[in-house]
A and B are shown apart, each in its own frame.
Chain A
Amino acid sequence: MSETRLQSKIPAGPLAEKWTRFKAEAKVVSPANKRKLEIIVVGTGLGGASAAATLGELGFNVKVFCISDSPRRAHSIAAQGGINAAKNYQNDNDSVYRLFYDTIKGGDFRAREANVYRLAEVSSAIIDKCVAQGVPFARDYGGLLDNRSFGGAQVSRTFYARGQTGQQLLLGAYASLNRQIAAGTVKSYNRREMLDLVVIDGKAKGIIVRNLETGEIERHGAHAVVLATGGYGNAYFLSTNAMNSNVSAAIQCYKKGAFFANPCYVQIHPTCIPVHGDQQSKLTLMSESLRNDGRIWVPKKLEDVEKLRKKQIKPSQIAEEDRDYYLERRYPAFGNLVPRDVASRAAKERCDAGFGVNETGLAVFLDFSTAIERLGKKVIEERYGNLFQMYEKITDVNPYEEPMQIYPAIHYTMGGIWVDYELMTTIPGLYAIGEANFSDHGGNRLGASALMQGLADGYYVLPYTIGQYLSKEIQTPKTDVNAPEFVAAEKAVKEKIAKLFKIKGKQTVDGLHKKLYKIMWNKVGMARNEAGLKEALKEIEALRKEFWNDVLVPGKNEEFNQELEKALRLIDFMEVGKLIALDALNRRESCGGHFREESQSEGGETKRDDENFMHVAAWEYKGEKQDPVRHEEPLVYETVKLATRNYKD
């Protein structure tokens, strides 16, 4: 069902001129009027921090909220490998078009052309900005910036700061934010969690937050609200996301009328440390950059697998000719650098066939011996030293001597709140940026593109597009937080919290969340089918009932209460879990990270159905008792020729 409400607002004209044309025609707000306008930014990762700092620099009054004790803790900090930009510093024939095309292709032709082209266009300026802020990117001996390669690309366009690129970029954005806080243009509210969006006369006008230290419920008003709250990977409990990353703010917006797009596009990262036991709380990512020099393999012979599992031999004792470098075998052109979804499924295929190398049978090797031979230990240490150290601390195995063990894990969510070209949601005045929106990565995100998108949205896109809306709000007075809509939203939040304490059941929040994990990972994970998805939907519904009858939340609201925080988040993880399963069930094709077993090629690769599914699916909330309604935004490719993704030759 196509609908008029999904107006993508893509500017007319040739692809390469759309953004220029948009900027030429876009409305701007004068400095005197900017001072009168208030903007709320929720979240302080790369998207939120860069947006808040830039909007502050421009002269708006910004209020920024984060759930941690400091904006610097946001989960962008954990991104390791790098950030893409079409600088072509390596003279290897990179260009805006090539970055655009790689991203569209990597996303399996399920992203908007115009958004992705704009992303590639502004990517260069991000690197300039970060260097000006003092981000210590890696350099060569001549003092110029160094690059590395990442999955899904045949050029070197990834800028990096050792294995801590996300940290360094976030510290840059956080420093700019701090400068604005000191200047008084931005006010920062830490340890605050957004629990509802307030909509007045159809426009986003503010938020309800809980002060996590005191339990106080607060009302905050503004002329516009920007959601920069990240993805929903923690619906799966075990993921590479930080423990506090959650989808609650996005789900409240969804319930207030923001459509949720493509929830089934979930990225499973191929190189994570395997699960060790059921007391585990999270999974640790090993950067994709490791695939630059690491080779992925499993034994060719099942008897070697048997011996490995019984610890009778070490992996290094298996002869070269008895190793199956299955990515190099299956995808000669890209080898170990195929995109993430392809690498993950290939690992699953080998493990399902019985070649998994640890006791659980769910692990493959990532081996550096060839690279160490070729480059020497020192070079490898310089490139990946901190990652190797981290691996050894967690597993007690020295990766300089024996290969790492890795297995795919939930990592990133391409789906998110639907936004138009201006990054505005279906609620006027509500914007979504970074991982929280759906717009740029299609069915699969390429490595080092999340950092690029978060910063592009915050530094260079939203500050240009938000004027379109705010230029019409210059006469609007300050939002009154005593308006009935605020009072009602606050009351609803308080009632929900009170209801949780009243249940006094027997199960802990984590126990229930682990049940959701089993449903999601087994039936809505790396491979999905109709029967499994239908079961998952029933099971999530049953779990929801179980939660509301049997959850045990200790303590009270008026205190620092981490169990209450987790309980509130789990309610929304169940809601998004249902959305993921429903979307996966309705998308009867395979594309990118979404693999429907019913739709695959003979070689087991994803098989798209462009005739029926070349669209964005956006879900509209219809209340507790009804299923959400699916809307479609057709994807029109004016420039790119559709092709089957091929990483073989």
Chain B
Amino acid sequence: MKFKLQIWRQKNAKAKGRFETYRVDNISPDTSFLEMLDILNDQLIREGKEPVAFDHDCREGICGMCSLYINGHAHGPDDGITTCQLHMRKFKDGDTIVIEPWRSVGFPVVKDLVVNRNAFDQILQAGGFISCNGIVPDANNLPISKIDADESMDASACIGCGACVATCKNGSAMLFVAARVSALAKLPQGKVEGARRAKAMVAKMDELGFGSCTNTQACEAECPKGISIAHIARLNREFLLAKIKD
């Protein structure tokens, strides 16, 4: 297969970026999207040009490192996957493919397609944990209904990639924050610090410049792990209850 690629190039956070056009051919439909970029980079290096920087690591959809905005969609056209799980068979021979980094105030560009997602770490540091030092009770001392445990797991499947923020027209991190708050709120051991957690994480998210949620549901549609916006409703409830008690 052959493709025309329009890729965002930007030297560093301060430099002005621009699109550059490249061509690749002889790409097997079984090649993954990132392997296609490996092939492009190999070509560029041989031509004495600078390869395209992009984040990637596990290449099996779980580390949350890859982060490309492809033809106007976070993680590309296919549903329920990350960029590294996208394969070229999902495109037509001869297609033009536009590749950009996540674009959001919360995620400054480091270089080309690489962004800084440190804000996510900071939000979790504000309260995305259960405080449990040292030796704790036996795991089966606390039965948890299968339904609650499963729902907690649904929320906890978030890989922290940032597709929700990149997709949201407001640059809101609500789905990311909600996933963590909800995962812990569904468990009895998470309830103890529930009120403090919801308030602290929302406050940190606001402080870091992420936008507000206006219920467009775009985040759920583009989330590679299918995290439901029902978790946002739960976050709102947790947050409100906490505020009322203040």
Contacts and interface: CB of A to CB of B under 8 A. Distances in A.
Interface of A: 57, 68-73, 75, 77-78, 87, 89, 125, 127-134, 136-145, 161-162, 164, 167-168, 171, 174-176, 178-179, 181-182, 188, 190, 213, 242-244, 276-277, 279-282, 284-285, 389-390, 393-394, 396, 506, 508, 510-511, 552, 554-555, 559-560, 562-563
A414 to B, nearest CB: 21
B118 A190 contact: yes
B85 A394 contact: yes
B63 A78 contact: yes
Interface string B34-52: 1100110010011011110
26 contacts: A73-B57, A73-B65, A75-B58, A75-B63, A78-B62, A128-B137, A131-B139, A131-B189, A136-B150, A137-B139, A138-B149, A140-B146, A141-B146, A145-B140, A175-B129, A182-B126, A242-B57, A242-B59, A243-B58, A281-B32, A281-B38, A282-B60, A511-B42, A552-B45, A560-B114, A563-B51
Interface of B: 11-12, 28, 30-32, 34-35, 38-39, 42, 45-46, 48-51, 53, 55-65, 78, 80-81, 85, 87, 89, 110-111, 114, 116-118, 120-121, 124-126, 128-140, 142-146, 149-150, 152-153, 156-157, 159-160, 183-184, 186-187, 189-190
A285 B60 contact: yes
Given A167-B62, A393-B61, A552-B45, 19 more contacts: A69-B116, A70-B117, A72-B64, A127-B139, A128-B139, A129-B132, A132-B130, A137-B149, A139-B149, A143-B149, A161-B153, A176-B129, A242-B57, A242-B58, A244-B57, A279-B39, A554-B51, A555-B50, A562-B51
B130 to A, nearest CB: 5
Contacts of B186: 136
Contacts of A138: 149, 153
A441 B63 CA distance: 26
Contacts of A176: 129, 132
A72 B125 CA distance: 12
B38 A510 contact: yes
A488 to B, nearest CB: 31
A62 B153 CA distance: 30
Contact of B130 (A133, A141, A563): A133
A234 B234 CA distance: 42
A517 to B, nearest CB: 14
A139 B187 CA distance: 12
A89 B140 contact: yes
A171 B184 CA distance: 12
A144 B143 contact: yes
A390 B59 CA distance: 11
A69 B66 CA distance: 11
B189 A560 contact: no
A554 B45 contact: yes
A164 B157 contact: yes
Nearest to A504: B48
Contacts of B55: 69
A136 B149 contact: yes
B73 to A, nearest CB: 16
A243 B57 contact: yes
Contacts of B12: 559-560
State the main secondary structure of chain B at its contact with A: loop
Contacts of B111: 559-560
Q: Residue among B31, B59, B63, B150 with the most chain A CB within 10 A?
A: B63
Given A78-B60, A134-B184, A242-B57, A396 B32 contact: no
Contact of B34 (A144, A161, A281): A281
B226 to A, nearest CB: 10
B125 A181 contact: yes
Given A134-B190, A178-B129, A559-B111, A68 B65 contact: yes
A491 to B, nearest CB: 26
A244 B114 CA distance: 15
A508 B34 CA distance: 17
B60 A136 contact: no
A498 B49 CA distance: 19
A57 B38 contact: no
A133 to B, nearest CB: 6
Nearest to A244: B57
A139 B117 contact: no
A87 B141 CA distance: 13
Contacts of B138: 128
Contacts of A280: 35
Contacts of A125: 135
B137 to A, nearest CB: 7
A70 B117 CA distance: 8
Given A179-B129, A182-B125, A279-B31, A510 B42 contact: yes
Contacts of A144: 140, 143
A136 B183 contact: yes
A279 B38 CA distance: 9
A162 B153 CA distance: 8
B80 A77 contact: no
A563 B52 CA distance: 10
Contact of B30 (A127, A162, A243, A276): A276
B62 A178 contact: no
Contacts of B139: 87, 127-128, 130-131, 137, 145
Contact of B28 (A127, A244, A277, A508): A277
Contact of B144 (A139, A181, A244): A139
Contacts of A178: 121, 124-125, 128-129
A89 B138 CA distance: 11
B130 A134 contact: yes
Contacts of B48: 554
Nearest to A141: B146
Contacts of B45: 508, 552, 554, 563
A71 B64 CA distance: 11
B62 A164 contact: yes
B193 to A, nearest CB: 10
Contact of A134 (B63, B146, B152, B157): B152
B187 A134 contact: yes
A69 B160 CA distance: 11
Contacts of A190: 118, 121
Nearest to B145: A143
Query: Lowest 4 A-B CB distances belong to which pairs?
Result: A143-B143, A175-B129, A132-B136, A136-B153
A244 B59 CA distance: 10
Given A282-B59, A559-B111, A560-B111, A69 B35 contact: no
Nearest to A168: B156
A136 B187 contact: yes
Contacts of B49: 554
A125 B114 CA distance: 39
A75 B56 CA distance: 12
Contacts of B30: 276-277
A485 B129 CA distance: 40
Nearest to A389: B80
Contacts of B156: 136, 161, 168, 171
Contacts of A285: 60
Given A394-B87, A554-B45, A77 B63 contact: yes
Q: Residue among A142, A174, A182 with the most chain B CB within 10 A?
A: A182
